[in-house]
């Protein structure tokens, strides 16, 4: 089965290995809000050509709000502020992956 969000997979492949992220996948609507129905629709597409068309027409964004592990180090027991600082050290904002 083809990956329904290849633009996210490609962006995640650019990040350092060994990161465990917590976030939410969104497809922004014209007004800037998340279009949940478009996320759902794109997730159900199985034909590779249609997947590529969806990625080009309605690209998804992964909003990352926590870093749970970094290069083998479990960060879950650390304070949220420390985890968020680590998140911003490891994940540079881009068009498809955006740390908050």
Q: Answer yes or no: are the C-beta atoms of 87 and 1 closer than 8 Å.
A: no
pLDDT tens-digit readout, 17-70? 999 999 999 999 989 899 999 999 999 999 999 999 999 999 999 999 999 999
Q: Is 11 a residue whose pLDDT tops 70?
A: yes
Q: Is 1 a residue whose pLDDT tops 70?
A: no
pTM of the model: 0.91
| CATH T-level assignment (fold) for domain 6-99 | D-amino Acid Aminotransferase; Chain A, domain 1 (3.30.470)
pLDDT tens-digit readout, 76-100? 999 999 999 999 999 999 999 999 9
Report the C-alpha gap between 51 and 100 in whole angstroms.
27
Boundaries of every domain in the chain: 6-99
Residues in Cβ contact with 11 at an 8 Å cutoff, skipping those fewer than 6 apart? 62, 94, 95, 96, 97
Report the C-alpha gap between 6 and 60 in whole angstroms.
9
């Amino acid at each position: 089965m083809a990956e329904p969000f290849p633009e996210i997979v490609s962006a995640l492949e650019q990040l350092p290995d060994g990161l465990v992220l917590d976030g939410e996948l969104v497809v922004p609507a014209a007004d800037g809000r998340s279009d949940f129905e478009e996320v759902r629709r794109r997730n159900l597409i199985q034909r590779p050509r249609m997947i590529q068309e969806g990625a080009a027409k309605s690209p998804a964004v992964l909003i990352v709000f926590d870093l749970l592990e970094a290069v083998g180090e479990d960060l879950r027991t650390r304070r949220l502020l420390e985890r968020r600082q680590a998140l911003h050290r490891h994940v540079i904002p881009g068009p498809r992956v955006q740390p908050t």
